[in-house]
Structure 1
Amino acid sequence: MTQDRIRAAARYEPDSPYAWLRLAVALVIGTVACVGSWSVVVVLPAMQGEFDTLRSGASLPYTCAMLGFGAGNIVMGRIADRYGITVPVVMGALLLAAGYAAAGLSHSLWQFALAHGLLIGVGSAAGFSPLISDLSHWFRRHRGLAVVCGASGSYLAGVVWPQIITWGLAHHGWRATHFGIAIAALVVMLPLAPFFRRQPAAATLAHADSRSAGARSDLGLSANQLQALLCVAGFACCVAMAMPQVHIVAYCGDLGYGVARGAEMLSLMMLLGIVSRIGSGFVADRIGGTATLLLGALMQGVALFLYLWFDGLSSLYVVSGLFGLFQGGIVPMYAVVIREYLPARQAGVRIGLVMSVTVLGMATGGYLSGVIFDYFSSYRMAFLNGLAWNLVNLAIVCWLLLRTRARPEQGAEAAVR
């Protein structure tokens, strides 16, 4: 009987086959749930014509969706910490279905925006930070890889959904397309939710808490101080990130290439972003989350700089691909850093808080880029604005990395003396 219990416990150990199966199911959930981050990007030009508004006005539903997504990451993360991940997944499915149905019935911009902010954004959050925090408990040796793979659901959504929605807009109109998304969320997410009922063992959480406390002591910052720094860095990096992701479809339309080409670039960006995310997971498991975060932020700045110099159709495909390849691993690295330095039992709410701030950065960057475009009638200044925010992120992450390396050396010198 004792051996049976030992074998049963080993079956659910970190990095076990069950953990990898859990990751695969989480990836499916994330791909469906995170449609809320991308559908409004594809329909942005259609909404501008439907509701007779400026580009900044048409960007408002995206901003509302991101605000709802940000708040949802905190709320859903807190629920996951307390009750497990099954409850947020069920809630997310119901909220997405209600939100897309309400969006399909909207007759004004404010109704469309509210549906995204109060329902769609919050529902989509169930497929992001709660899943990431849950997966981080089920992996030890391959935590970085598991976290970025789980976070890749949002990018898979960016690969798959823009093409589906573009097809739906062309053949059935935007209202029917939104109703179809509502049905898809219910059909996929609800049957898979019970799979996540098992929770990590108490011994696994205790071991993780002990390791993070030691690492935080070496860093020389309190948990809340580090949390605040990561929030500022995450906000800055995502203001920069939002410009290409939110406006590439509209940008291609303005250049005369058509929104379909922009949707293809967005899908390419997200596809290579998945490659970047998985690659960053391998790197993080070897050099640490902070160093990997710095590398990603530096390369994102390079890609934003290239947008200033190339606006031909072929070159935009290349630069958009590079942008996706460079920045894909940035946001999940914040979750990896949190699990390295902050308490495991608070992973859901702490990861949710940082993810919500990154989403707030995306919302701010998306709206701010629209405002800058309306003022200058050009996206050039919007790209420069993104570069400036990226430098803020670089400065913070670089300081953290230098502090991480300096503290152990100082400790060693003190021991010698």
Structure 2
Amino acid sequence: MVREIENTGTDSRYAWLRLGLTLLVATIANAGMWAIIVIMPAVEAEFGLSRSDAALPYTLTMIGFALGNFAIGRAVDRFGITWTLIAATLVIVGGLGMATASGSIVTLSLAQFVIGFASAVGFGPLIADISHWFVRRRGVAVAIAASGNYLSGAIWPMVLAGVLEQNGWRTVYIVMAVVTLVGVVPLALALRRQVPDEAREAAHHASTLNAQSSGLSPRKLQYLLGLAGIGCCVAMSMPQVHIVALCVGLGFGPAVGAQMLSLMLMGGVVSRILSGVLADRLGGVRTLLIGSVLQCIALFLYLPAGGMVSLYMVSLVFGLSQGGIVPSYALIVREYMPAREAGARVGFVLMATIMGMALGGWLSGKIYDITGSYEMAFVNGIVWNGLNIAIILWLLSRSRPRSPRAALQPS
């Protein structure tokens, strides 16, 4: 069966070329969700805000990003990735234009909601699309596609920090609008080919076998994964969202924080690729458990860290620990749920993970405002991470998921 699928396009040279284009699109389209982190201290100073109020645009960005993953994922199931990408790009550009004209934190937050919603096209919908084109190497493919989000976070904060310093945060958004429009639309047109029918049939066969082993309906599993995703991403958000603000508070400056964020996210890219390789052997559930445990350990390491060197080191460790977590959710959806619903199902679960990021970003700022430090915010993240680990252990205890390759073999 696998050989027949390869002859029709999956795991083929075209599939790998498509994966490269997908990665490039994701790196550009996700820029809007990271820029707000870079400009957060400047916005806080301009509008005279508290730390939690300054985090409000990020929170709205992530809420929009979460809803966009689900809504745009459904659109991809119906209309395909190309035209969905083009429409979302135009909305991103419009949101960036609205942000440059913002005169208050409320207007900026609404603009960021629009940017976040449309930017979601570069995450869950792209991951769902590329997952149809791979069978034997689906874990690696999904991990690479998901790495576009982290590559965007590693590259753009460094680039935009210089623009911010020289020209202010509004110019940052003008630059992003031009790059997004010029970069994404031509690449979207190159992704018009449809996945072969044989690949969808094989994916349905594999997901049916795993679903039977779990004893859970797709809807129940979807909600369970969503709850787990909220737990892990409340924990994940603390370092990712507040590392720049943490460095500013310690006197290191925003540039150092941006470097730590880039280092963290580059480590996340490495982690995602390695997790993808692992997932092709162990499956998504076991890979998710490994990543969740490693993330929890890394969060503990932040508690004693307070110097610049130690924060650089722990940020790298954190990135190397948790990068494979979110792609693992997409793999579990593809392993257990119908292929024809991939966009909506992947979108829903990733929506929950991003809601966790939004909640965690705001909650960490609120805890800082109450306590005057980030120590209890890290403890809060560790507790939420424990919820995620408990759910995955429970799921693993009631099913014996087969690896993607094994699921394609005759029973």
TM-score grouping bracket, smaller chain normalisation: over 0.9
Alignment partner for residue 188 of structure 2, among 177, 185, 193? 193
Give the aligned partner of residue 412 of structure 1. Answer: none
Paired AA for residue 31 in structure 2: V
* Higher alpha-carbon deviation: 396-405 or 221-230: 396-405
Give the aligned partner of residue 302 of structure 1. Answer: 297
Decide whether the 8 Å contact of 1:12 with 1:18 is kept in 2: no
Aligned counterparts of 1:192 and 1:323: Cα–Cα separation in 2: 32
Decide whether the 8 Å contact of 1:147 with 1:332 is kept in 2: yes
Deviations 1:292-342, CA, capped at 9 Å, x for gaps? 000000000001001111111100000000000000000000000111111
Query: C-alpha displacement at 1:31, in angstroms?
Result: 0.3
Q: Equivalent residues in 2 for 1:153-302 (5 A)?
A: 153-302=148-297
Give the aligned partner of residue 396 of structure 1. Answer: 391
Give the aligned partner of residue 133 of structure 1. Answer: 128
Alignment partner for residue 38 of structure 2, among 15, 37, 42? 42
Q: Equivalent residues in 2 for 1:25-174 (5 A)?
A: 25-117=21-113, 119-174=114-169
Decide whether the 8 Å contact of 2:283 with 2:401 is kept in 1: no
* Higher alpha-carbon deviation: 96-105 or 326-335: 96-105
Paired AA for residue 338 in structure 1: V
Give the aligned partner of residue 414 of structure 1. Answer: none
Give the aligned partner of residue 327 of structure 2. Answer: 332
* Higher alpha-carbon deviation: 46-55 or 398-407: 398-407
Q: Does 1:378 align with 2:350?
A: no
Query: C-alpha displacement at 1:164, in angstroms?
Result: 1.0
Percent identity between the aligned chains? 50
Decide whether the 8 Å contact of 2:303 with 2:378 is kept in 1: yes
Query: C-alpha displacement at 1:406, in angstroms?
Result: 9.8
**Unmatched segments (≥5 aa) in structure 1:** 1-8, 408-417
Aligned counterparts of 1:44 and 1:158: Cα–Cα separation in 2: 15
Decide whether the 8 Å contact of 2:285 with 2:401 is kept in 1: no
Paired AA for residue 378 in structure 1: S
Decide whether the 8 Å contact of 1:33 with 1:92 is kept in 2: no
Decide whether the 8 Å contact of 1:11 with 1:18 is kept in 2: no
Paired AA for residue 250 in structure 1: A
Aligned counterparts of 1:389 and 1:332: Cα–Cα separation in 2: 19
Q: Does 1:342 align with 2:337?
A: yes
Q: 1:56 is paired with a residue of what secondary structure?
A: helix
Aligned counterparts of 1:243 and 1:249: Cα–Cα separation in 2: 11
Aligned counterparts of 1:391 and 1:111: Cα–Cα separation in 2: 36
Give the aligned partner of residue 415 of structure 1. Answer: none
Paired AA for residue 31 in structure 1: T
Deviations 1:58-105, CA, capped at 9 Å, x for gaps? 000000000100111011100111111012210221111111111111
Query: C-alpha displacement at 1:11, in angstroms?
Result: 6.2
Aligned counterparts of 2:339 and 2:108: Cα–Cα separation in 1: 38
Could you tell me the TM-score, scaled by structure 1's length? 0.94
Aligned counterparts of 1:406 and 1:141: Cα–Cα separation in 2: 16
Query: C-alpha displacement at 1:289, in angstroms?
Result: 0.8
Paired AA for residue 17 in structure 2: L
Query: C-alpha displacement at 1:12, in angstroms?
Result: 4.7
Compared with structure 1, are the counterparts of its residues 253 and 208 closer, same or farther at alpha carbon in structure 2 (3 Å cutoff)? same
Decide whether the 8 Å contact of 2:8 with 2:198 is kept in 1: no
Query: C-alpha displacement at 1:192, in angstroms?
Result: 1.0
**Unmatched segments (≥5 aa) in structure 2:** 403-411
Q: 1:140 is paired with a residue of what secondary structure?
A: coil
Decide whether the 8 Å contact of 1:208 with 1:343 is kept in 2: yes
Aligned counterparts of 2:60 and 2:7: Cα–Cα separation in 1: 42
Aligned counterparts of 1:305 and 1:387: Cα–Cα separation in 2: 7
Compared with structure 1, are the counterparts of its residues 11 and 212 closer, same or farther at alpha carbon in structure 2 (3 Å cutoff)? closer
Aligned counterparts of 1:55 and 1:88: Cα–Cα separation in 2: 36
RMSD, aligned CA: 1.4
Paired AA for residue 204 in structure 1: A
Paired AA for residue 217 in structure 1: Q
Q: 2:298 is paired with a residue of what secondary structure?
A: helix
Aligned counterparts of 2:31 and 2:112: Cα–Cα separation in 1: 11
Aligned counterparts of 1:250 and 1:208: Cα–Cα separation in 2: 44
Bigger radius of gyration, 1 or 2? 1
Aligned counterparts of 2:315 and 2:151: Cα–Cα separation in 1: 16
Aligned counterparts of 2:159 and 2:91: Cα–Cα separation in 1: 21
Aligned residue pairs, count: 399
